[in-house]
Structure 1
């Protein structure tokens, strides 16, 4: 890679797969800024990431999320960064087209990585493993269906797929860096 070429890693994955935490680990080891979509959207809405989806209607949140995701991808392409997108934004066709275009161009400076994880671990990481009433069973089922659909979509859009079920964010980050170095070295 030429010294003036920016390098970026885009992380996509369902809630709990580790996009934010793995992104932070990669950013720290590779000396890259981390652009976290959930944090950026929450900041633009004047709230915290855990409350952003309840502060505004979901339709408004998803629109703000997709617009912000496109801006973060533009910034990463220009400056180099680790971008933690998650998977909620993947319902926007503009964003999916952009990610598909990146993958098809197979640029060595920007790679899309899907983080996947076992459903039972995702349920735990999202707080859905606690004992629950029978009435909440449907919510759990809907969550599992959403996770499976998002993981499939992430895998379709990615250059690399990494399972984070049994890794720490630091271990997963190192695996991503090593795997991408074999495909397209980031270091000259």
Structure 2
């Protein structure tokens, strides 16, 4: 895998706290590939933090920026790409992810249970506007609302609740290696 590839090798999706950024970094190192976080692309394009975008322009504006960044990342980005928790929710984003998967891309749904998520997220979510307030209740509602979208785009699902980021990265790397081996056969 080189950074000259025309699409990500792996896209990570899942709720907040699933470990998309941490696993993404570990996986990129394991695969000797670049790592990109879609939220970082959005922040760079907007010149504002995600909480500032939500506060100043609202969630619909953020989702528009997210959709634009996703299309670019799926066509011009190599390596490992971590999406924000809400990225697979809009239909246009699911369609873009489905097209990516049809072209042989791997989309991994990093799942986890509520107790583990709350422990990982803590009680202060100043950088996660949609989890402000009662983290447990907000996470549970978001996870239930979004589960079908995550499952519909995923080509692989991994429960991260009892695994370390390195164990998860190793499982994904093994899956990628097996897929590449199958495509060469």
TM-score by length of 1: 0.78
What is the deviation of 1:65? Answer: 1.1
**RMSD across aligned C-alpha pairs, in angstroms?**
2.8
What is the deviation of 1:10? Answer: 0.7
Q: Deviations over 1:110-137 (max 9, x none)?
A: 21111111111112222249xxxxxx66
Alpha-carbon distance change, 153 to 38 in structure 1, aligned in 2, over 3 angstroms: same
Which of 102, 113, 121 is equivalent to 2:116?
121
What is the deviation of 1:106? Answer: 5.6
Which of 140, 144, 152 is equivalent to 1:156?
152
CA–CA separation in structure 2 for the residues paired with 1:186 and 1:164: 26
Tell whether the 8 Å contact from 1:20 to 1:84 is kept in structure 2 after alignment.
yes
Unpaired segments of 5 or more residues in structure 2? 125-132
What is the deviation of 1:187? Answer: 10
CA–CA separation in structure 2 for the residues paired with 1:111 and 1:144: 26
Alpha-carbon distance change, 171 to 56 in structure 1, aligned in 2, over 3 angstroms: farther
Q: Deviations over 1:142-171 (max 9, x none)?
A: 431211232332122111111111222222
Give the aligned length. Answer: 173
Equivalent residue of 2:88, what SS? helix
Tell whether the 8 Å contact from 1:39 to 1:49 is kept in structure 2 after alignment.
no
